[in-house]
Chain A
């Protein structure tokens, strides 16, 4: 006859529950604090510097790549007017069409607004990419807006001028710096 199972075998081992109250207390303090300090709208900053006539910060200068001789002289400037954009360099306005002007015709110097009255940002990026490819050592762009130009247009141009998608020979796209140091100049009168 089999023996009676021992008391130890019959007794069910009781699982000890963890005391969660202290951790609940911590949570109850942390959650209201974090709710108060939480920022649900993400903010960012757009850096710019003033023209050299005002006191500039040496740390900003040192963080930008060393200017090459061509960068010192190119002075790439984007003029933003009510008609559209004009791009200038070396003190002269560039032909934005990218093609030689036909004989007797003036070169196209303004990226005109689109028929719906909006600025043609795509065309401006195209022109800037072309300039970047010709002058890879150039990192600064001077923005020269007209008095009536709205602030968000300026911010948009700064955004677009920061980087572009460069196509590699294998077809892949890679982010490349375009003109990441925008300088806000005076206004066009």
Chain B
């Protein structure tokens, strides 16, 4: 018959060796997440804040947005480069403080001309031509009478290359 283990031996048996944390499965998971995130990464940052007053239309187009001057034509305001430059009556879609027959919105025009001047100066420094690109985020249900005012104002301020931002959908 074998002798009973000594007290020291019993303590040693109870103590299990410290197991190393197995990182392989965690690495697998992280690799999958990393690949997914790299796929969805976009270098051009476009801030779209969907709300009741700004819901973009959908398009099957596949063109990627480019860095350019941004104008938001929401149902209640017109925003240029993040600054609210005109307020819109969300019931009638008329611009507050501007005659309904007036096609150019003075505040928007002023702001866009400033942006155009800045754009021209940057282009001249980089030895290239000013492209006059503007990206417009517009609420999908606004009537054309409001949109046309934004377009005419942009055109007057030498932004002739209009790009409408939309949500991409599959065909």
Contact = CB atoms under 8 A, between A and B. Distances in A.
Interface of A: 17, 20-21, 23-24, 27, 30-31, 34-35, 37-50, 54-60, 145-152, 154-156, 158-159, 162, 184, 186-187
A57 B131 CA distance: 6
Given A41-B167, A150-B142, A152-B57, A49 B65 contact: no
A149 B160 contact: no
Interface string B130-169: 0111010011111111011001101110101111111110
Nearest to B130: A57
B66 interface: yes
B6 interface: no
A16 B155 CA distance: 68
B12 interface: no
Interface string B25-59: 01100110110011011100110100000001111
B22 to A, nearest CB: 9
A23 B30 CA distance: 10
B64 A17 contact: no
A147 B143 CA distance: 6
B132 A55 contact: yes
